[in-house]
Structure 1
Amino acid sequence: MPHECDACGETFNTLSRLRLHDCPADEPDDPDPSSSFDAFLDSISDTLSANMQQRSSERRKRGLEAASDALKTTLEEAAQGGVDAAFGLIGRYERELREYHDREDYDTYRGILWAFYEPVAAALDENATREGWDFLVDLIDAYPRENTVEEPLVSPVIENAVGRHVIRTRLEDGVAAIPAESLVYLGSFWESMGDVSGEESLTYGWGIGHPDHSAVDHLRDIVTEELFWVHGALSHTFYADQHAAADLLEALLTDERIDYEDRYTLASVLGTVDDNSPPQIPRYWDLREEVDYHFEFDEAVRSRLRETIEAEGFHRRLGGDWTFSDMKI
């Protein structure tokens, strides 16, 4: 006895074939391949994000379990304030990170690093806000960066506190009030790009225009050696002073020492800046909430940079009605 599909009218000799057939009625009227693919990509992204969050949570849990009671106690003491307590916290944090790092137990090392990163950075920032630059100078002197091999493992949280200080100082008192030593310190981590310490030092860009330390010269000097650190610092130069940043970017985009593709990579920073999302560095510190800062492009600067992009031919790989957002990579 034939079996008819109620939806499409096709007949089958068995119920199994009826159930398994590809019924046209099950397909959307106007299938959109791009939307299906987008949904597929979204599902992958969601899965990866969930997996990463799970791994991050497990790593932090491992770090909390491995950390000594002494580290947890010194964190509580430092959170209540006091320079001595803050130095005690950093000393204990460094020792425990070093212990697992030297054992090559990198999972536990990273677990402790991230489990305590935010509260340690907050404790340092509170002391720096209360005590001023002198507190940070003493911290840098106690944990100096000699080179990439001998870099203290607590460097990222110190850079985090220094970066917050640099930004606050510039916005409240102007670029000249930023301690030049803070820029020298942050600018020394460009060789660590790819590590947390390299990322935390990107606030170096807030020093553009400093009368006693030329961030522009430093960025131009190292661009062919560490493109991505310069790219990361560039976004911060725009947040600090978009006119000076535009001068710097134009100089880089017309610098024939730099490979053409690398120059396009540098130009892509405009997409990051133009989407008006707050910078992710310093970690665990929201520029908008902390200092009520919002970036807006000056239209004259925007127009000038569009002309430079077109003069260098970068617009040819974009659509006809292109915007800076189209340049994000």
Structure 2
Amino acid sequence: MNLDDFFRQVWKDRNLTALGFWPLSLLYSTIVEIRRFGYSCGLFAVEHFQFPIIVIGNLTVGGTGKTPLTIWAVEHLKNAGYSPGVISRGYGRRISETHMVGEDSTPDVAGDEPLVIWRRTNVPVAVARQRSDAIRLLIKEKDCNIFISDDGLQHLSIESDLKIMLIDGEERFGNGFCLPAGPLRESSRHANGVDLKLVNGTGQKNEYSMECKLTEAVNLLNNSKTRTLESFANETVSAIAGIRNPKRFFKLLAEQGIQSKNYSFPDHHDFDRDELSAILTTDDVVLMTEKDAVKCAHFASPNWWCVKLEATPEAAFQNAFSDRVSAIVRSN
């Protein structure tokens, strides 16, 4: 059991192990609340930009579907006539400089999720330690008129116009504790401060629902080569997932009739050739997430494929999103 799996088990309920971490959670949550208070009362500066800023994030650690929702939001805005740009901190990258994601970008420089977003949408994406620096870079070099802050719900130094909170439909808020005793980055009461709540799964009262499903497989060595997922049903397949909830990916593959030998890795895992060569052969048919594929493409074998994940929010959310964006643009 890796560390991610360990904490996912601990965070399911208020067990003895979770309670043992509670003093650290109290310290952590106190620091978070002091920081929030500093921004709310003006002790810390909040920067305002002339263009609308949409924040997509969550209260818990790990994957709730932020990246596929960001991709959906970008395409929705493009279809509505806007010129969106995406800003991110670029979790997992190894440099601190502000960077415009492009053809030569690697996960070490851009982070895995920003690279996926750029490749899927082809809109300007900038990463920076301070998100305001990413916005300034996009304003300076690109013709953007609206911005999406990916995983930006806890970044308070930029004034935002629309806050969208994603919730895991299976795990929700876990045991309700803040890190490290639970999965919360901040108290769940801050959910009341967002504009739209969207559940990856079935929403509850005052929440919208979203479906995430796998669509097609793209070859890692030749992205013009694609296959339907159904075409893998009669093959021996190895599935790799270095994401917050690998079991969800494996379950989605199984729902497509794919029987796979599954390999789980920690979220944002930094894959290398030797590691995967120890469990795979060059002839193996391999399916992996897009986030993992950007880190494996440079040493991939011909039968390695990444599987696209598409988010589809319910119609009511799509209408609410469009209405909110239109109102924000008019007010700006």
Q: TM-score range by the shorter chain?
A: under 0.3
Higher share in helix? 1
Using the size of structure 1 for normalisation, the TM-score is 0.21
Structure of greater Rg: 1
- Give 1 or 2: higher strand fraction: 2
Report which structure shows greater RCO (CA 8 Å, sep ≥6).
Answer: 2
TM-score for both structures, normalised by structure 2: 0.21
